[in-house]
Amino acid sequence: MKNNKTKTIEEYVAHLQLMVDDLNAVVTEQNKQISNLKQRVEFLLSREAEREYADQNSLIMSDSKPPHW
Q: What secondary structure does DSSP assign to 14-41, as a single string?
A: HHHHHHHHHHHHHHHHHHHHHHHHHHHH
Domain ranges of the chain: 2-56
CA distance 64 to 41: 20
* pLDDT digits 0-9 by tens, 29-67: 999 999 999 999 999 999 998 888 888 765 555 666 666
Q: Which pLDDT score is estimated for 10?
A: 96
Do residues 8 and 16 lie in contact, with contact meaning Cβ atoms separated by under 8 Å? no
CA atoms within 13 A on the CB side of 11: 6
**What is this structure's pTM?**
0.62
Tell me the residue type at 23: L
* pLDDT digits 0-9 by tens, 8-29: 999 999 999 999 999 999 999 9
Look up residue 61 and give its DSSP letter.
G
